[in-house]
Amino acid sequence: MGLNTLFVGHRVNVLDKVDSTNVYIRELLEKAPLDEGLIVWAQEQYAGKGQRGSSWLSQPGVNLTFSVVLRPHFLAIKDQFWLTKALALSVAEFVSSSFDAGLVKIKWPNDIYVNDRKIAGILIENILEKSLIKYSIAGIGVNINQETFDPSLPNATSLKLVAGKEFDLRACLEKLCVSIEKFYLLLRNADYKKLDESYHKLLYRKDIWSKFSLNGEPKEGMIKGVSPSGHLLINTKTGAEIRSNEALEVSDVKHLVFL
Ligand code: BTN
């Protein structure tokens, strides 16, 4: 690609069909080291992986489903949420630059939402060496030109649905590479303040009282932010009272569904 990046997307392997681009890269890494920035892009995944063991369903040939190899060996395992922030910001930047109107948000930890609907998801899998991250396989799925979704995904949307026009997939991938590199370099340069401020600015439902199901339990509360280690900070209400003025760290939030 004639790309304006230092390394992200300099090599793109395009596959017709694969189980999952994350799995494919992991298998390559078992055989040989890979360059940072390598992208594996599949037209079709027959076993696409989502977060928490779910699957990622994407109509073949109309969306972006790819993984990028990163080598954030400067990042300790305990700091891995910074990579989540950097990648979520890059996908959010790409999405918001693709149309004029609409509110782009990051639903904790790293789902990208437009007007309360999910447009993209990210699955980061790390390969560790001692206490450091040797490789990160950052799998990104963005709904680009898909117009109808499986009934199991009632809350999904795509760029085409929000912008009302068709997008060129390769041009989208190139734009995304630029954003990925931009935010990854902020991370590499330890610009945590910028990353943190930008992430919190886009955090879905921040400072809004919301009803949600937290690990399966109905709750009412207000998201105040995310701790440096990636835990969601929520103020909860008991009856009419706010339980704490201080944000309460809910360290075991694994699954948050807004009701
Ligand atoms: C989620 O929101 O649950 C994460 C979805 C991640 C999907 C992408 S598509 C490319 C890469 N390969 C996979 O198997 N999953 C990720």
For 22, the enclosing helix (H) or strand (E) is helix 21-31
| Single pTM value for the model | 0.93
What distance in Å separates the CA atoms of residue 40 and residue 206, rounded to the nearest whole number? 34
Q: How far is the CA of 48 from the centre of ligand 1 (A)?
A: 6
Instruction: Answer for the pair 141, 120: CB distance below 8 angstroms, yes or no.
Output: yes
**Mean of pLDDT over the chain:** 90
By most ligand atoms within 8 Å of CB, the mutation choice from 23, 27, 41, 65 for ligand 1 is: 65
pLDDT in tens, 138-148: 999 999 999 99
Could you tell me the CA-to-CA distances from 227 to 149, 187, 251 in Å, in that order? 34, 17, 9
Q: Is residue 249 scored above 60 in pLDDT?
A: no
With a 6 A CB cut-off, is 107 part of the ligand 1 pocket?
A: no
Q: How far is the CA of 31 from the centre of ligand 1 (A)?
A: 23
What distance in Å separates the CA atoms of residue 183 and residue 253, rounded to the nearest whole number? 26
Q: How far is the CA of 33 from the centre of ligand 1 (A)?
A: 22
What distance in Å separates the CA atoms of residue 181 and residue 185, rounded to the nearest whole number? 6
Enumerate the β-bridge partners of residue 64.
142
In the chain, the percentage of residues whose pLDDT exceeds 90 is 73
Enumerate the β-bridge partners of residue 247.
none
Phi, psi of 235 (to 5 degrees): -90, 130
pLDDT in tens, 46-69: 999 999 889 999 999 999 999 999
